[in-house]
Amino acid sequence: MAASAAQSFTTHDLALVLFISAVVLLIAVLAVRFANRSGMPTLVLYLGIGLIMGDGGFGIQFENPELTQVLGYTALALILAEGGISTRWSSIKSSIAPAALLSTLGVLVSVVVVAAFVVLLLGKSWTIALLLGAIVTSTDAAAVFSVLKRVGLPARLTGVLEAESGFNDAPVVLLVVALADAATPGRSAHAWWVVLLEAAGELVGGALIGLAIGWLFARLSHRNAPTSSGLFSIGILAVAVLAYATASLVHTSGFIAVYLAALVLGNSNLPHARAVHGFVQSVGWLAQIGLFVLLGLLAAPSRLDTQIVPAIIVGLVLLLVARPVSVFASLAWFRFRWQEQLFLSWAGLRGAVPVVLATVPLTVGTPNTDWIFDLVFVLVLIFTLVQALPMPWIARRLGVVEAAQVLDLDVEATPLEELHADVLQLHVGSTSRLNGVEIQELRLPQGANVTLIVRGEQGFVPSPRTVIRRDDQLLLVTTATSRDQAVRRVRSVSRDGRMAGWATPLRSESE
């Protein structure tokens, strides 16, 4: 196909490309159902699809790290946009400070620890070891978001992981580029303190640009929103992409800009909000599928086996030493229990971000770094499975599982938007003290009510005297203004029983 495209791309070539693309997308969509049942992260399946399509399978030739990096940055920007728009500010606001520290101080600590072990165990130079440490230290938003959906965590832990994965791409990208330049002959290398100052300036500049663009277009959207929800959704995504491009053009961080702009937009009570969420989620999935399959195509199975042992060594250092040290160093200033810090250490999932960043030394021309991409690819493939599959069990063993999990439901109904209403799903866990509580004893705020209970395979409309049981699924309908108070009330009763609020004050939703 590459040879044909170089000469003339015909309609026959177009049909072949569309056929392959459609088949890949259909397989990827079906793979999500298998992933949900097995607990396997979707990124592993998508990387596998790419490997099967490449040299080790169907023989599609793809060896272009420059194009991979460009498309990878594009996909990461779209994934961060989806993450920002879909994240509720109320769920992460108390986690901003610890997540920001974990994304900066934690990243630096993790890089240094990994580098020290790479020098000691693999015999690499400090420059190359620091470069490798920077590449593998970033957590991945797509991987974290997909796995957290099946682990019933308290809002505070979920907020830290979501905010960290949204924040840490920006400083890590800057660090990797600076270290790759330093390790490449002929490129200017600055003193470490200059690099830190430049990185801080780019992060602050990108954050200001993202917040400003998000705030400006959020105000404009309320005044000039088109009647077409589809057209409006395209416009909102375009604003997030505009934030990335603007920040990048003025040499600041585009990744922090796109995430913060999307976060502002997603929490601005946008018109057509549910249509926007559905659209950006679809684009996010498309970006994930395309990115992971592309990275699988770029990898050569014939080279990967030589990096299995080094990848396991680096991965174990990262998982058992570097990540815990970085978490403890960053969160020691906040009131996190040691069980929560252990879980956050385990839950730092890697994904597409490290693999995309592993192409940076290749595009820059850093000598003797061809092996880095293969090592990082194997590390991500192995340790995503190692960390993700037992994560629900580890959360239960550490006692950090939320007894009653409240989830937002994307109900595509225009009347809900016009009524400023939300629909929430509540699952009553085995340890929840909601068990035995009557509906009326929840004392939900005005504008909120339980409208349906599913028990086993039977659903029914409850009365005020209906008793809630373990493993019940409750449908909670609430006005937008009463939503946060209703969630706080449900969580408080789940934690403290029917007398919650009488003996102890209600905690905020993020606690």
**3-class DSSP assignment, residue 55:** coil
pLDDT average per 10 residues of sequence, the chain (511 residues): 58 85 87 70 82 78 84 90 85 84 90 94 91 88 65 77 81 86 74 74 90 92 75 91 94 90 89 84 89 86 87 94 93 88 88 86 87 92 87 85 60 55 82 87 88 88 90 87 84 81 52 50
Which runs of consecutive H residues, i.e. helices, occur in 250-322? 254-266, 273-298, 301-304, 308-317
Inter-residue contact 351 to 291 (CB < 8 Å):
no
52 and 82 share one domain: yes
360 and 481 share one domain: no
| Amino acid type, 173 | V
Long-range contacts of 120-123, Cβ-Cβ distance < 8 Å, separation of 24 or more: 121/313, 121/317, 122/310, 122/313, 122/314
Query: How are strands ordered across the β-sheet holding 421-428?
Result: 404-408, 421-428, 473-479, 448-455, 458-460
Bridge partners, residue 454, by sequence: 459, 473
Measured in whole angstroms, the distance separating CA 167 from the mean position of its chain's CA atoms is 10
Q: Is residue 66 part of a domain?
A: yes
Inter-residue contact 489 to 506 (CB < 8 Å):
yes
Q: Tell me how far apart the alpha carbons of residues 480 and 478 are, in angstroms, rounded to a whole number.
A: 6
444 and 363 share one domain: no
CATH number at residue 447: 3.30.70.1450
What's the domain range around 109?
Answer: 39-200+302-398
In this structure, what token pair is assigned to residue 399? 């006692």
359 and 444 share one domain: no
Q: What is the pLDDT of residue 197?
A: 81
Q: Is residue 190 part of a domain?
A: yes
In this structure, what token pair is assigned to residue 503? 């003996």
Inter-residue contact 48 to 384 (CB < 8 Å):
no
Q: Tell me how far apart the alpha carbons of residues 472 and 428 are, in angstroms, rounded to a whole number.
A: 5
413 and 386 share one domain: no
176 and 308 share one domain: yes
326 and 445 share one domain: no
Inter-residue contact 295 to 377 (CB < 8 Å):
yes
Q: Is residue 363 part of a domain?
A: yes
For 184, how many CA atoms within 13 A lie in the half-sphere containing its CB? 18
Q: What burial class does residue 312 get, using C-beta atoms within 10 Å of its C-beta: 0-12 exposed, 13-18 middle, 19+ buried? A: middle
Q: Which of 364, 383, 398 is the last residue of a domain?
A: 398
Q: Is residue 275 part of a domain?
A: no
**3-class DSSP assignment, residue 455:** strand
Q: Tell me how far apart the alpha carbons of residues 154 and 401 are, in angstroms, rounded to a whole number.
A: 7
Q: Tell me how far apart the alpha carbons of residues 289 and 266 are, in angstroms, rounded to a whole number.
A: 23
Q: Tell me how far apart the alpha carbons of residues 221 and 232 are, in angstroms, rounded to a whole number.
A: 9
71 and 177 share one domain: yes
| Total count of domains within the chain | 2
Q: What is the pLDDT of residue 237?
A: 92
Residue 172 backbone phi and psi in degrees, to 5? -70, -40
pTM higher than 0.85: no
Inter-residue contact 336 to 329 (CB < 8 Å):
no
Residue 71 backbone phi and psi in degrees, to 5? -65, -35
320 and 183 share one domain: yes
Q: Is residue 249 part of a domain?
A: no
Q: Tell me how far apart the alpha carbons of residues 118 and 107 are, in angstroms, rounded to a whole number.
A: 16
Q: What is the pLDDT of residue 212?
A: 95
Q: What is the pLDDT of residue 113?
A: 95
Cβ neighbors of 45 (< 8 A, separation 6 or more) are 28, 31, 34, 35
**3-class DSSP assignment, residue 131:** helix
Inter-residue contact 289 to 243 (CB < 8 Å):
no
Inter-residue contact 330 to 390 (CB < 8 Å):
no
Bridge partners, residue 407, by sequence: 425
Q: What is the pLDDT of residue 167?
A: 82
Q: Which of 383, 398, 413 is the last residue of a domain?
A: 398
Tabulate helix, strand, coil % of the chain (nearest 5): 65, 5, 25
411 and 394 share one domain: no
Q: What is the pLDDT of residue 415?
A: 52
Q: What is the pLDDT of residue 56?
A: 67
The DSSP code sequence of 3-60 is HHHHH---HHHHHHHHHHHHHHHHHHHHHHHHHHHH---HHHHHHHHHHHHSTTTT--
Q: What is the pLDDT of residue 219?
A: 87
Q: Is residue 285 part of a domain?
A: no
Q: What is the pLDDT of residue 4?
A: 47
Nearest residue to 130 (alpha-carbon basis) of 383, 366, 441:
366
CATH number at residue 355: 1.20.1530.20
Q: Tell me how far apart the alpha carbons of residues 199 and 497 are, in angstroms, rounded to a whole number.
A: 48
The DSSP code sequence of 376-421 is HHHHHHHHHHHHHTTHHHHHHHHT---SEEEEE-----HHHHHTTE
Q: Is residue 213 part of a domain?
A: no
Q: Which of 367, 398, 429 is the last residue of a domain?
A: 398
Q: Is residue 271 part of a domain?
A: no
Each residue of 313-331: pLDDT tens digit? 999 999 999 999 999 999 8
314 and 166 share one domain: yes
88 and 187 share one domain: yes
